[in-house]
Amino acid sequence: MAREVSTQRKTINTVVAWAIGLLIFFPILWTVLTSFKTEATAIADPPVFFFFDWTLENYSVVQERSDYMRYLWNSVIIAGGSTLLGILIAVPAAWSMAFVPGKRTKDILLWMLSTKMLPAVGVLYPIYLLFIKLGLLDSRFGLVIVLMLINLPIIVWMLYTYFKEIPKDILEAARMDGASLKSEILHVLTPMALPGIASTILLNIILAWNEAFWTLNLTAVNAAPLTAFIASYSSPEGLFFAKLSAASTMAIAPILIMGWFSQKQLVRGMTFGAVK
Amino acid sequence: MGSIRLEKVNKSFGDVTVIPSVDLDIKDGEFVVFVGPSGCGKSTLLRLIAGLEDTTSGHIYIDDQDATDIPPAKRGLAMVFQSYALYPHMSVYKNIAFPLKMAQQDQATIDKKVRGAAEVLNLSDYLDRRPGQLSGGQRQRVAIGRAIVREPSAFLFDEPLSNLDAALRVNMRIEISELHNSLETTMIYVTHDQVEAMTMADKIVVLNAGNIAQVGSPLELYSRPDNLFVAGFIGSPKMNLLDGEVAAKRDAATIGIRPEHIRLSKDSGEWQGTVNVAEHLGSDTFLHVRADGIGQVTARVDGEFDVHHGDTVYMTPEPEKIHRFDAGGLALR
């Protein structure tokens, strides 16, 4: 029997949901609004909301001063590359953990997750030295490797939980049908886990895109992604709020748009396995 | 060809021994059924033959070749799973074609074989559908189709009918038997249902706690059970197993008599008893009788024999049909 919900109740729920949604979205909205203000209006007290002289000046200044496309391209390569590489390594790893678990599989999974509990700054020094020795400083390749390693535990964990949902029988049937291990993973496991793999990819692109600690510390000019682009506009005196906002808007726009179009997959990915 | 031989096959999971040591000979073209209560190791034995589990020790020969260490994909066997295990993201056509694709056959051969199998299994109209859009019986037929296109040396069935409803089960039972008659390929079939075992098998292997209790044709097992376990497991309703004085009188620890081998009378007979429940099936009536000094006895009588709860009846077992067992449960002959 369906639960009866009165119209009044529905209205209240809708209003509350919108209020919470707006509250969460407000900082982003404020950043976008500020990016269209002049520097003076941006720091006006009391702050102005909608009624100011809208201007695109900040965007043109930002574009003049720094090459947005180069940062964007670096972000795409670093986020995309680290995710792709991570998936290639994590699919076989998660396959073996889900379908041929050993005595220590659970421990390995927990240990992998525990590496995420270590504050990144704790290993900054050794990794920085390693990067110098290997000549990886300020290289996109170096960042792809580091971000892949940082996010690998999450990728393996997510894929592991998706793979666990796939009945073992089906993989055994593939084996009986003459499939090699490669064919089994390629033709049976991967297509069946595709929704899960897709949401893992999405989440990891977002994580890598927004990662600021390593990208800021290990790059200078050549490999600097959009996070460095934003940082270059922040100054301790806070005099250039409008330009900083414009830079931020430009940096988050691509990932925001991607997230908007793939929200179905994202939500499915996050609730996958909760209900049969 | 599809002869399979097991030699001292042993399987343990950690400290738990599931199959102590099994020797078994399956001839080419035989329909062999592994039957036993749940947990008796019958599915494990099948999976060992399939190669989905590794033997702890012992050898498995397929067509006289040692296959113990050959991976499942290379053993040339096909398996039908209880859960059907179809590929949900592929159409029926692609499901059936999958093993052929893995064997790298050319497109024309694949098409011919898939359509041929679909024809035999009445699936021609469903080739474009996904497994999720099919009924249980159709899914099972797709699973069988996927197995037959490979032309395997033997088919392995792991409780293939237990997810189907009763009416469908009877139909599929007949279909699988017909398939065996037309293909003449070795089939190994695992079930816990002794009716399936009796109706389909050339040879039944009764398993008890990982050991083979008896191997034989359905009628051999029925009329000459080697031990108490087989006597009690095969036949429905179950054989009456009686001990005490009535057995001692016949120089046995336990005697067994099937319900249909007891003659009933309302006037006189060897054992006197009171009818507890009378199950009237129409053609037959099963009487559950409390026999004085003996215990509960089940007897089958003609449907017209009119008795009810509380009536007194007399029972006489047919002497030549009595099975005698010693204290260890082995048949005395």
pLDDT given for residue A153 in this prediction: 92
pLDDT digits 0-9 by tens, B277-314: 999 888 899 999 999 888 899 999 988 888 889 999 99
The answer to whether the Cα torsion of A253, A255, A258, A259 is positive or negative is negative
Identify from B13, B87, B188 which residue to disrupt to test chain A contact, counting A C-beta atoms within 10 A and taking the largest count.
B87
Q: Which residue has the higher pLDDT, A66 or A158?
A: A158
Q: Exposed, middle or buried by CB within 10 Å (0-12, 13-18, 19+), for A46? A: exposed
Interface of B to A at Cβ within 8 Å reads 50, 52, 71-74, 77-79, 81-83, 85-89, 98-99, 102-103, 146, 150, 156
Nearest CA in chain B to A190: B89
pLDDT digits 0-9 by tens, A144-202: 999 999 999 999 999 999 898 888 889 999 999 989 888 998 899 888 888 888 888 98
Q: Establish if A198 touches chain B: CB-CB under 8 angstroms.
A: no
Beta-strand relationship, B203-208 and B31-35: parallel
pLDDT confidence bin for A270, thresholds 50/70/90: low
**Facing residues of B80 across strands?**
B157
SS3 content of chain A, % helix, strand, coil (to 5): 75, 0, 25
Q: Establish if A165 touches chain B: CB-CB under 8 angstroms.
A: no
Angle at B271 between CA B283 and CA B286, to 5 degrees: 20
Residues of A with CB below 8 A from B81's CB?
169, 172-173
Q: Where are the alpha helices (DSSP H) in B51-153?
A: 92-102, 107-120, 136-148
pLDDT confidence bin for A129, thresholds 50/70/90: very high
Q: Which candidate from A169, A177, A194 shows the least CB-CB separation from B102?
A: A177
- Look at residue B210 and tell me whether its pLDDT is greater than 70: yes
| Amino acid (1-letter code) at residue A246 | A
The pair of three-digit structure tokens given for residue A258, joined into one six-digit string: 């991607």
**Do residue A188 and residue B79 have CB atoms under 8 angstroms apart?**
no
Q: Establish if A46 touches chain B: CB-CB under 8 angstroms.
A: no
Q: Establish if A178 touches chain B: CB-CB under 8 angstroms.
A: yes
**Do residue B99 and residue A183 have CB atoms under 8 angstroms apart?**
no
**Contacts of residue A246, Cβ cutoff 8 Å, sequence gap at least 6:** A35, A58, A59, A61, A62
Residue whose pair of structure tokens reads 């992998």 in the numeric block = A112
Q: What is the ipTM of this complex?
A: 0.83
Three-class secondary structure of residue A187 per DSSP: helix
Residues of A with CB below 8 A from B83's CB?
167, 169
Identify from A177, A181, A188, A197 which residue to disrupt to test chain B contact, counting B C-beta atoms within 10 A and taking the largest count.
A177
Nearest CA in chain A to B51: A176
Q: Among A12-21, A110-119, B49-58, B84-93, name the one with the lowest average pLDDT.
A: A110-119
Question: How close B113 gets to chain A, by Cα (Å)?
Answer: 15
| DSSP letter assigned to residue A188 | I
- Look at residue A1 and tell me whether its pLDDT is greater than 60: no
Question: How close B70 gets to chain A, by Cα (Å)?
Answer: 12
pLDDT digits 0-9 by tens, A33-46: 988 988 878 777 78
pLDDT digits 0-9 by tens, B28-72: 999 999 999 988 999 999 999 999 999 999 999 999 999 999 999
Q: Which of A1, A264, A123, A172 is nearest to B43 (CA)?
A: A172
**Do residue B102 and residue A179 have CB atoms under 8 angstroms apart?**
yes
Q: Among A110-119, B38-47, B191-200, B230-239, name the one with the lowest average pLDDT.
A: A110-119
Three-class secondary structure of residue A36 per DSSP: coil
pLDDT digits 0-9 by tens, B256-276: 999 999 999 988 889 999 999
**Do residue B72 and residue A180 have CB atoms under 8 angstroms apart?**
no
What is the CB neighbour count within 10 angstroms for residue A1?
A: 3
Element spanning A112, H or E: helix A105-114
Q: Which candidate from A170, A177, A194 shows the least CB-CB separation from B99?
A: A177
**Do residue A176 and residue B52 have CB atoms under 8 angstroms apart?**
yes
pTM surpassing 0.90? Answer: no
pLDDT given for residue A274 in this prediction: 41
Provide mean pLDDT across the span B190-205. 92
**Do residue B146 and residue A177 have CB atoms under 8 angstroms apart?**
yes
Q: Which residue has the higher pLDDT, A2 or B217?
A: B217
**Do residue B87 and residue A180 have CB atoms under 8 angstroms apart?**
no
**Do residue B89 and residue A178 have CB atoms under 8 angstroms apart?**
no
Q: Which of A91, A127, A126 is nearest to A201 (CA)?
A: A91
